[in-house]
């Protein structure tokens, strides 16, 4: 049996290529939208992708299933038939592709590899997992389970996204109860069975995901806190799994809708042309486009940037910032080094930002006159500035971080939810925006500036902040 795990470190997402080397057939599970890399991998391994399966309708990236089936009509799509009509892949029902809709306990084969379907709802109603048995290698029981967003290393898939991201009212508690019942099927499996999860550390699909790429049922039974909780009462489990879940990025609802209705076909990757300094300067201040400035050095960005550009460092946060702050219908321009253009393009198209119209390297930006800056202060000056003038302190950390400790009177809007909640931010005061370290708040400050707010970025570690009463007491003692 051929087994290859394909990792996207920005979205912390795993796809799986599972092949029968004897027949040359292969199954691809949960592919992202830029499918050329899976086809190249299969070719290198001497197999052909004959089936594409999905564990569920994803919310954090656009699926490549439709793209692959369009490129090769011989491919059979294996999609969930569970969860009811509201949670089925509508795009696959039009008769355009070879599709097999799967129910609990169904089996299918790829060469001499048998795949058994287990309905594992909770994260989503239609979620299925796949037990894989290598008959060609002489096995008569499964070696592992492709678990999607059901079980991760160290956690279970969050059951609140239908409500918190997709807006389905009163969905999270019933989903948590379904997830509790789904764990019964997992706990019945043998300890040696390998777990091949859909995500790793850094994904927003759980709150305590491990960075180890795979695990076993036995290990998770012993050390996965959410799974241990599932061995107790249902009500205790529901409270635990729902507590402290981070706010999902704004774009998750759009991903879920497109994956259900049909992801637009991509074809070739966008090839944005390089802009000259004059062309870049003409983009300054425009709000009918989006300019993403991918510099990692936020202080450099704050000191001089194109007016109305968004600070979106090309690191693990890039898809989250771009997806949360860039309207998909607007043309996108990138400030990015030439050797990283393709990396940025792939990150963007995976979350449906396809209108990538041009790019300019940092050296070109530096030759543009009229760059603007964002004022910045440290936490030591925050209380002083609050005392001297009327300001609004905007805390863009998560709600759980805010509850643990915050500036009295501060407004809390998590940075991934800022765009749809801009109406909550006062326009008649200066906005002092902060997070835990300065990274999230730098991106948030750029969005606020683009939207016309008067912004001061608070730089530094939030642990440096002291309440005015504490600072005054220290001053008197000294």
301 has a pLDDT exceeding 50: yes
The mean pLDDT of 163-189, rounded to a whole number, is 92
Residue that is written with structure tokens 């996204």 in the block: 161
317-338 pLDDT, tens digit per residue, is 999 999 999 999 999 999 999 9
Q: Closest Cα partner for 408 from 349, 338, 467, 344?
A: 467
The alpha helices in 23-78, defined as continuous H runs, are: 36-45, 65-71
Q: Residue 33: pLDDT band by 50, 70, 90 thresholds?
A: very high
Neighbours of 100 (CB within 10 A): 14
Distance CA 312, CA 321 (A): 6
What is the pLDDT, as a whole number, of residue 478? 41
pLDDT digits (tens, 9 = 90+) for 350-368: 999 999 999 999 999 999 9
pLDDT at 467 over 90: no
* Helix (H) / strand (E) containing 15: strand 13-20
- Identify the pLDDT of residue 66: 98
Domains parsed from the chain with CATH numbers: 2-259 (3.60.15.10), 277-366 (3.40.250.10), 376-473 (3.40.250.10)
pLDDT tops 90 at residue 388: no
pLDDT digits 0-9 by tens, 393-448: 999 999 999 999 999 999 999 999 999 999 999 999 999 999 999 999 999 999 99
| pLDDT tens per residue across span 42-82 | 999 999 999 999 999 999 999 999 999 999 999 999 999 99
């Amino acid at each position: 049996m051929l087994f290859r795990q394909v990792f996207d470190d920005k979205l912390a997402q795993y796809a799986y290529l599972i092949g029968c080397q004897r027949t040359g057939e292969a199954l691809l599970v949960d592919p992202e939208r830029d499918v050329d890399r899976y086809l190249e991998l299969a070719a290198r391994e001497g197999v052909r992708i004959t089936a594409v399966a999905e564990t569920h309708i994803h919310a954090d990236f656009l699926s490549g299933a439709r793209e692959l089936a369009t490129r090769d009509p011989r491919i059979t799509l294996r999609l969930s038939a569970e969860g009811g009509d509201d949670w089925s892949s509508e795009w696959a029902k039009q008769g355009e592709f070879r599709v097999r809709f799967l129910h609990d306990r169904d089996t299918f084969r790829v060469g001499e590899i048998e795949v058994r379907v287990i309905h594992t709802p909770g994260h989503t109603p239609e979620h299925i997992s796949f037990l894989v048995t290598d008959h060609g290698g002489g096995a008569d029981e499964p070696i592992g389970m492709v678990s999607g967003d059901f079980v991760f290393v160290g956690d279970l898939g969050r059951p609140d996204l239908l409500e918190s991201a997709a807006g389905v009212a009163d969905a999270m508690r019933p989903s948590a109860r379904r997830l509790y019942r789904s764990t019964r099927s997992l706990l019945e499996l043998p300890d040696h069975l390998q777990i091949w999860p859909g995500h790793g550390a850094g994904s927003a699909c759980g709150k305590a995901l491990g960075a180890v790429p795979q695990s076993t049922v036995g290990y998770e039974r012993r050390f996965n806190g959410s799974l241990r909780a599932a061995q107790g009462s249902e009500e205790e489990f529901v409270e635990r799994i729902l507590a402290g879940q981070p706010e999902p990025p704004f774009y998750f609802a759009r991903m879920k809708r497109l994956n259900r209705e049909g992801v637009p076909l991509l074809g070739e990757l966008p090839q944005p042309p390089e802009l000259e300094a004059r062309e870049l300067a003409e983009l300054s201040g425009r709000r009918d486009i989006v300019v993403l400035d991918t510099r990692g050095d936020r202080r450099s960005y704050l000191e001089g940037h194109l007016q109305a550009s968004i600070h979106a460092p090309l690191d693990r946060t890039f898809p989250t910032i771009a997806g949360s702050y860039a309207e998909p219908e607007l043309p996108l321009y990138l400030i990015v080094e030439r050797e990283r253009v393709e990396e940025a393009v792939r990150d963007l198209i995976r979350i449906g930002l396809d209108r990538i119209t041009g790019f300019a390297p940092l050296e070109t930006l530096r030759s543009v006159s009229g760059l603007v800056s964002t004022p910045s202060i440290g936490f030591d000056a925050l209380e002083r500035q609050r005392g001297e003038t009327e300001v609004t302190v905007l805390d863009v950390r998560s709600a759980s971080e805010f509850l643990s400790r915050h500036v009295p009177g501060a407004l809390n809007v998590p940075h991934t939810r800022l765009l749809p909640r801009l109406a909550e931010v006062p326009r008649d005061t200066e906005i002092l925006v902060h997070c835990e370290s300065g990274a999230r708040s730098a991106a948030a400050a750029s969005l606020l500036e683009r939207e016309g707010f008067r912004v001061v970025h608070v730089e530094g570690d939030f642990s440096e902040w002291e309440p005015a009463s504490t600072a005054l007491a220290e001053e008197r003692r000294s």
